[in-house]
Amino acid sequence: MHDRSSVEYRVGITGIFGQYLLEPANRLVVTLGGRYDRLALDAIQGSDDSVEQTYDAFSPKVGATVKLLKRDDPASGVTLNAFGTYSQAFLPPRRPSALQAADTQLNLQPEDIENYEAGLKGGVLGGRVALEASFFHMTEDGVVINRFINNRFVPSNAGQLTYKGFETGATWTPRQSVTAYANAAFYRNRYGDFVIQTSGGDRILTGNRLVLSPDYIVNWGMSVQPVSAVNVTFDVKHVSSTFGNESNTAKIDGYALFDVAATWQRGPLRVTLSGRNLFNEDYYFDVGSETADPGPPRQVLLSTTVRLGR
Protein backbone atom coordinates (compact mmCIF):
# COMPACT_ATOMS: atom_id res chain seq x y z
CA MET A 1 0.00 0.00 0.00
CA HIS A 2 1.45 3.34 -1.04
CA ASP A 3 1.28 6.56 0.92
CA ARG A 4 -0.85 9.07 -1.04
CA SER A 5 1.06 11.93 0.56
CA SER A 6 4.18 10.91 -1.38
CA VAL A 7 2.54 11.30 -4.80
CA GLU A 8 4.42 13.57 -7.19
CA TYR A 9 2.33 15.48 -9.74
CA ARG A 10 3.67 16.84 -13.01
CA VAL A 11 2.08 19.00 -15.69
CA GLY A 12 3.49 19.50 -19.17
CA ILE A 13 1.90 22.30 -21.20
CA THR A 14 2.54 23.02 -24.87
CA GLY A 15 0.72 25.78 -26.76
CA ILE A 16 1.12 27.06 -30.32
CA PHE A 17 -0.91 30.04 -31.54
CA GLY A 18 -1.17 31.67 -34.94
CA GLN A 19 -3.22 34.56 -36.31
CA TYR A 20 -3.64 36.18 -39.71
CA LEU A 21 -5.28 39.52 -40.50
CA LEU A 22 -6.61 40.45 -43.92
CA GLU A 23 -8.72 43.22 -45.45
CA PRO A 24 -10.71 41.78 -48.36
CA ALA A 25 -12.68 45.05 -48.69
CA ASN A 26 -12.18 48.71 -47.84
CA ARG A 27 -14.13 48.60 -44.57
CA LEU A 28 -13.81 44.95 -43.68
CA VAL A 29 -11.13 43.35 -41.49
CA VAL A 30 -11.09 39.57 -41.06
CA THR A 31 -9.13 37.67 -38.41
CA LEU A 32 -8.25 34.01 -38.83
CA GLY A 33 -6.52 32.21 -36.00
CA GLY A 34 -6.08 29.00 -34.14
CA ARG A 35 -4.34 27.47 -31.17
CA TYR A 36 -3.02 23.97 -30.55
CA ASP A 37 -2.71 22.86 -26.93
CA ARG A 38 -1.28 19.71 -25.41
CA LEU A 39 -1.42 18.92 -21.71
CA ALA A 40 0.41 15.94 -20.23
CA LEU A 41 -0.64 15.11 -16.67
CA ASP A 42 1.32 12.64 -14.55
CA ALA A 43 0.77 11.30 -11.04
CA ILE A 44 3.85 9.38 -9.89
CA GLN A 45 3.66 7.26 -6.75
CA GLY A 46 6.82 5.32 -6.11
CA SER A 47 9.08 3.99 -8.85
CA ASP A 48 6.58 1.63 -10.51
CA ASP A 49 3.15 3.14 -9.83
CA SER A 50 2.19 6.07 -12.05
CA VAL A 51 -0.81 7.39 -13.97
CA GLU A 52 -0.38 9.35 -17.19
CA GLN A 53 -3.02 11.19 -19.18
CA THR A 54 -2.50 13.37 -22.26
CA TYR A 55 -5.08 15.70 -23.80
CA ASP A 56 -4.71 17.79 -26.92
CA ALA A 57 -6.95 19.83 -29.20
CA PHE A 58 -6.92 22.48 -31.92
CA SER A 59 -9.09 25.53 -31.20
CA PRO A 60 -10.01 27.74 -34.18
CA LYS A 61 -10.99 31.40 -34.09
CA VAL A 62 -12.65 33.51 -36.78
CA GLY A 63 -13.58 37.16 -36.44
CA ALA A 64 -14.66 40.08 -38.59
CA THR A 65 -15.02 43.85 -38.10
CA VAL A 66 -17.06 46.06 -40.43
CA LYS A 67 -16.62 49.82 -40.36
CA LEU A 68 -20.22 51.00 -40.80
CA LEU A 69 -19.68 54.73 -40.24
CA LYS A 70 -16.54 56.82 -40.34
CA ARG A 71 -16.30 60.59 -40.55
CA ASP A 72 -13.02 62.19 -41.53
CA ASP A 73 -13.51 65.33 -39.42
CA PRO A 74 -11.98 64.50 -35.99
CA ALA A 75 -13.82 67.36 -34.26
CA SER A 76 -17.33 66.08 -35.06
CA GLY A 77 -16.51 62.58 -36.19
CA VAL A 78 -18.92 59.71 -35.73
CA THR A 79 -17.65 56.14 -35.85
CA LEU A 80 -19.55 52.87 -35.72
CA ASN A 81 -18.06 49.40 -36.09
CA ALA A 82 -19.82 46.05 -36.03
CA PHE A 83 -17.91 42.94 -35.05
CA GLY A 84 -18.50 39.22 -34.72
CA THR A 85 -16.35 36.36 -33.44
CA TYR A 86 -16.56 32.59 -33.36
CA SER A 87 -14.07 30.63 -31.28
CA GLN A 88 -13.49 27.28 -29.66
CA ALA A 89 -11.47 26.24 -26.63
CA PHE A 90 -10.96 23.15 -24.57
CA LEU A 91 -10.53 22.25 -20.93
CA PRO A 92 -8.85 19.06 -19.72
CA PRO A 93 -11.28 16.82 -17.78
CA ARG A 94 -8.85 16.11 -14.98
CA ARG A 95 -6.38 17.90 -12.73
CA PRO A 96 -3.17 16.04 -11.84
CA SER A 97 -4.26 15.78 -8.20
CA ALA A 98 -7.44 13.94 -9.30
CA LEU A 99 -5.67 11.25 -11.31
CA GLN A 100 -6.20 7.70 -10.13
CA ALA A 101 -5.13 4.34 -11.51
CA ALA A 102 -8.69 3.63 -12.67
CA ASP A 103 -8.62 6.77 -14.84
CA THR A 104 -6.61 5.02 -17.51
CA GLN A 105 -9.75 3.12 -18.57
CA LEU A 106 -12.19 6.05 -18.45
CA ASN A 107 -11.34 7.48 -21.87
CA LEU A 108 -12.39 10.95 -20.74
CA GLN A 109 -12.28 13.63 -23.42
CA PRO A 110 -11.49 17.34 -23.02
CA GLU A 111 -14.49 19.57 -22.41
CA ASP A 112 -15.41 21.44 -25.59
CA ILE A 113 -16.14 25.17 -25.33
CA GLU A 114 -17.84 26.99 -28.20
CA ASN A 115 -18.41 30.75 -28.18
CA TYR A 116 -20.25 33.23 -30.39
CA GLU A 117 -20.00 36.99 -29.88
CA ALA A 118 -21.35 39.97 -31.81
CA GLY A 119 -21.65 43.65 -31.08
CA LEU A 120 -21.23 47.30 -31.93
CA LYS A 121 -18.60 49.88 -30.95
CA GLY A 122 -18.85 53.55 -31.75
CA GLY A 123 -18.00 57.10 -30.83
CA VAL A 124 -19.57 60.54 -31.21
CA LEU A 125 -18.56 64.12 -30.55
CA GLY A 126 -15.08 63.56 -31.85
CA GLY A 127 -14.52 60.59 -29.56
CA ARG A 128 -15.54 62.35 -26.36
CA VAL A 129 -18.35 59.82 -26.01
CA ALA A 130 -17.57 56.13 -26.60
CA LEU A 131 -20.31 53.50 -26.71
CA GLU A 132 -20.27 49.73 -26.98
CA ALA A 133 -22.67 46.80 -26.74
CA SER A 134 -22.21 43.11 -27.34
CA PHE A 135 -24.00 39.78 -26.99
CA PHE A 136 -22.34 36.42 -26.38
CA HIS A 137 -23.45 32.80 -26.24
CA MET A 138 -21.05 30.16 -24.94
CA THR A 139 -21.61 26.44 -24.45
CA GLU A 140 -19.36 24.18 -22.40
CA ASP A 141 -20.09 20.61 -23.48
CA GLY A 142 -18.77 17.32 -22.18
CA VAL A 143 -18.47 18.44 -18.56
CA VAL A 144 -17.36 15.50 -16.40
CA ILE A 145 -20.14 14.17 -14.13
CA ASN A 146 -20.84 10.85 -12.40
CA ARG A 147 -22.99 8.26 -14.18
CA PHE A 148 -24.09 4.86 -12.86
CA ILE A 149 -22.69 2.30 -15.30
CA ASN A 150 -22.38 -1.48 -14.69
CA ASN A 151 -23.29 -1.15 -11.02
CA ARG A 152 -20.70 1.51 -10.25
CA PHE A 153 -20.35 5.27 -10.55
CA VAL A 154 -18.08 6.28 -13.40
CA PRO A 155 -16.95 9.82 -14.34
CA SER A 156 -17.96 10.56 -17.94
CA ASN A 157 -18.38 13.47 -20.37
CA ALA A 158 -22.13 13.97 -20.04
CA GLY A 159 -22.80 17.46 -18.67
CA GLN A 160 -23.43 20.81 -20.33
CA LEU A 161 -23.22 24.44 -19.18
CA THR A 162 -24.59 27.42 -21.10
CA TYR A 163 -23.57 31.06 -20.76
CA LYS A 164 -25.52 33.92 -22.33
CA GLY A 165 -25.01 37.59 -21.76
CA PHE A 166 -25.42 41.16 -22.92
CA GLU A 167 -22.76 43.73 -22.08
CA THR A 168 -22.91 47.46 -22.68
CA GLY A 169 -20.96 50.52 -21.62
CA ALA A 170 -20.31 54.20 -22.20
CA THR A 171 -17.45 56.59 -21.48
CA TRP A 172 -17.86 60.37 -21.49
CA THR A 173 -14.91 62.78 -21.50
CA PRO A 174 -16.39 66.30 -21.53
CA ARG A 175 -12.94 67.77 -20.97
CA GLN A 176 -9.44 66.44 -20.63
CA SER A 177 -9.55 66.56 -16.82
CA VAL A 178 -12.89 64.75 -16.39
CA THR A 179 -13.90 61.23 -17.43
CA ALA A 180 -17.08 59.41 -16.42
CA TYR A 181 -17.98 55.84 -17.24
CA ALA A 182 -20.75 53.30 -16.77
CA ASN A 183 -21.00 49.69 -17.89
CA ALA A 184 -23.36 46.83 -17.22
CA ALA A 185 -23.42 43.11 -17.89
CA PHE A 186 -26.54 40.95 -17.78
CA TYR A 187 -26.04 37.20 -17.64
CA ARG A 188 -28.10 34.07 -18.01
CA ASN A 189 -25.70 31.32 -16.97
CA ARG A 190 -27.45 27.98 -16.53
CA TYR A 191 -26.90 24.25 -16.30
CA GLY A 192 -27.82 22.68 -19.61
CA ASP A 193 -28.46 18.94 -19.81
CA PHE A 194 -26.98 18.07 -16.42
CA VAL A 195 -27.92 15.03 -14.31
CA ILE A 196 -25.61 13.67 -11.59
CA GLN A 197 -26.33 10.11 -10.50
CA THR A 198 -25.69 9.41 -6.81
CA SER A 199 -26.45 6.59 -4.38
CA GLY A 200 -29.42 8.61 -3.10
CA GLY A 201 -30.92 9.17 -6.55
CA ASP A 202 -30.45 11.47 -9.52
CA ARG A 203 -29.60 15.14 -8.93
CA ILE A 204 -31.23 16.99 -11.83
CA LEU A 205 -29.62 20.42 -12.24
CA THR A 206 -30.90 21.17 -15.75
CA GLY A 207 -32.06 24.79 -15.93
CA ASN A 208 -30.62 25.85 -12.55
CA ARG A 209 -28.44 28.93 -12.23
CA LEU A 210 -24.73 28.22 -12.07
CA VAL A 211 -23.10 28.43 -8.65
CA LEU A 212 -21.99 31.96 -7.68
CA SER A 213 -23.13 33.38 -11.04
CA PRO A 214 -24.86 36.79 -10.75
CA ASP A 215 -27.63 37.89 -13.08
CA TYR A 216 -26.07 41.34 -13.48
CA ILE A 217 -23.02 43.43 -12.63
CA VAL A 218 -23.08 47.23 -12.94
CA ASN A 219 -20.05 49.53 -12.62
CA TRP A 220 -19.91 53.30 -12.74
CA GLY A 221 -17.56 56.03 -11.65
CA MET A 222 -15.62 59.17 -12.46
CA SER A 223 -12.08 60.49 -12.58
CA VAL A 224 -11.42 64.20 -12.01
CA GLN A 225 -8.16 66.13 -12.17
CA PRO A 226 -8.92 69.49 -10.49
CA VAL A 227 -5.30 70.63 -10.79
CA SER A 228 -2.39 69.15 -12.68
CA ALA A 229 -0.85 67.50 -9.59
CA VAL A 230 -4.04 65.95 -8.15
CA ASN A 231 -6.30 63.17 -9.46
CA VAL A 232 -9.46 61.97 -7.69
CA THR A 233 -11.41 58.85 -8.66
CA PHE A 234 -14.42 56.99 -7.33
CA ASP A 235 -15.81 53.66 -8.47
CA VAL A 236 -19.07 51.91 -7.61
CA LYS A 237 -19.81 48.24 -8.27
CA HIS A 238 -23.24 46.59 -7.96
CA VAL A 239 -23.50 42.78 -8.04
CA SER A 240 -26.82 40.91 -7.95
CA SER A 241 -27.62 37.98 -5.70
CA THR A 242 -26.20 34.53 -6.45
CA PHE A 243 -26.71 30.95 -5.33
CA GLY A 244 -24.07 29.17 -3.29
CA ASN A 245 -25.05 25.64 -4.25
CA GLU A 246 -26.01 23.67 -7.35
CA SER A 247 -29.60 23.02 -6.21
CA ASN A 248 -30.20 26.80 -5.92
CA THR A 249 -31.45 26.61 -2.33
CA ALA A 250 -28.72 28.70 -0.65
CA LYS A 251 -29.06 32.30 -1.78
CA ILE A 252 -26.27 34.85 -1.30
CA ASP A 253 -27.43 38.48 -1.21
CA GLY A 254 -26.17 41.00 -3.72
CA TYR A 255 -24.00 43.92 -2.73
CA ALA A 256 -22.64 47.32 -3.72
CA LEU A 257 -19.05 48.47 -3.18
CA PHE A 258 -17.77 52.06 -3.11
CA ASP A 259 -14.08 52.82 -3.67
CA VAL A 260 -12.40 56.25 -3.70
CA ALA A 261 -8.83 57.37 -4.22
CA ALA A 262 -6.92 60.66 -4.35
CA THR A 263 -3.42 60.93 -5.80
CA TRP A 264 -0.94 63.80 -5.54
CA GLN A 265 2.15 63.75 -7.71
CA ARG A 266 5.06 66.14 -7.87
CA GLY A 267 8.15 65.17 -9.82
CA PRO A 268 9.30 61.64 -8.87
CA LEU A 269 7.08 61.54 -5.75
CA ARG A 270 3.53 60.16 -5.79
CA VAL A 271 1.24 59.86 -2.74
CA THR A 272 -2.12 58.05 -2.87
CA LEU A 273 -4.84 57.92 -0.21
CA SER A 274 -7.51 55.34 -1.04
CA GLY A 275 -10.57 53.86 0.60
CA ARG A 276 -11.89 50.46 -0.48
CA ASN A 277 -15.34 49.18 0.48
CA LEU A 278 -15.90 52.60 1.98
CA PHE A 279 -19.25 51.75 3.63
CA ASN A 280 -17.93 48.46 5.08
CA GLU A 281 -20.36 46.26 3.14
CA ASP A 282 -20.58 42.58 4.11
CA TYR A 283 -20.38 40.45 0.98
CA TYR A 284 -19.10 37.24 -0.55
CA PHE A 285 -17.31 36.99 -3.84
CA ASP A 286 -16.58 34.21 -6.31
CA VAL A 287 -13.26 32.38 -6.07
CA GLY A 288 -12.78 30.37 -9.25
CA SER A 289 -16.47 29.34 -9.35
CA GLU A 290 -15.73 26.87 -6.55
CA THR A 291 -16.07 28.76 -3.26
CA ALA A 292 -17.52 32.03 -2.01
CA ASP A 293 -15.10 33.82 0.31
CA PRO A 294 -15.96 36.77 2.56
CA GLY A 295 -14.97 40.05 0.97
CA PRO A 296 -12.45 42.28 2.75
CA PRO A 297 -13.90 44.94 5.08
CA ARG A 298 -13.28 48.66 4.78
CA GLN A 299 -9.65 49.44 4.01
CA VAL A 300 -7.94 52.83 4.11
CA LEU A 301 -4.51 52.83 2.50
CA LEU A 302 -1.82 55.47 2.25
CA SER A 303 0.93 54.63 -0.23
CA THR A 304 3.92 56.48 -1.60
CA THR A 305 5.98 55.89 -4.69
CA VAL A 306 9.33 57.41 -5.60
CA ARG A 307 10.57 56.99 -9.16
CA LEU A 308 14.32 56.85 -9.54
CA GLY A 309 15.83 57.76 -12.88
CA ARG A 310 13.91 58.02 -16.12
pLDDT recorded at residue 202: 77
pLDDT recorded at residue 225: 93
CB proximity list for 25: less than 8 A, separation 6 or greater: none
> Domain map of the chain by residue range?
215-310
Tell me, letter by letter, the H, E, C secondary structure of 64-120.
Answer: EEEEEEECCCCCCCCEEEEEEEEEEEEECCCCHHHCCHHHHHCCCCCEEEEEEEEEE
- State how far the Cα of 95 lies from the Cα of 112, in Å rounded to an integer: 16
The model's confidence at residue 94, banded by pLDDT at 50, 70 and 90, is low
DSSP letter assigned to residue 245: S
- State how far the Cα of 302 lies from the Cα of 259, in Å rounded to an integer: 14
pLDDT at 74 over 60: no
pLDDT recorded at residue 153: 63
pLDDT at 127 over 90: no
36-45 tens-digit pLDDT: 988 887 776 6
- State how far the Cα of 226 lies from the Cα of 305, in Å rounded to an integer: 21
Cβ contact 240:286 at 8 Å: no
pLDDT recorded at residue 71: 64
Q: Give the side-chain half-sphere CA count within 13 A for 146.
A: 13
The model's confidence at residue 63, banded by pLDDT at 50, 70 and 90, is very high
The secondary structure of 169-207 as a DSSP string is EEEEEEETTEEEEEEEEEEEEEE-S-EEEETTEEEE-TT
Whole-structure pTM over 0.75, yes or no?
Answer: yes
Give ∠ CA 48-50-55 in degrees, rounded to 5.
150
The model's confidence at residue 2, banded by pLDDT at 50, 70 and 90, is very low
140-180 tens-digit pLDDT: 988 877 666 556 666 777 788 999 999 999 999 998 899 99
pLDDT at 78 over 90: no
For residues 132 and 160, the model is more confident at 132
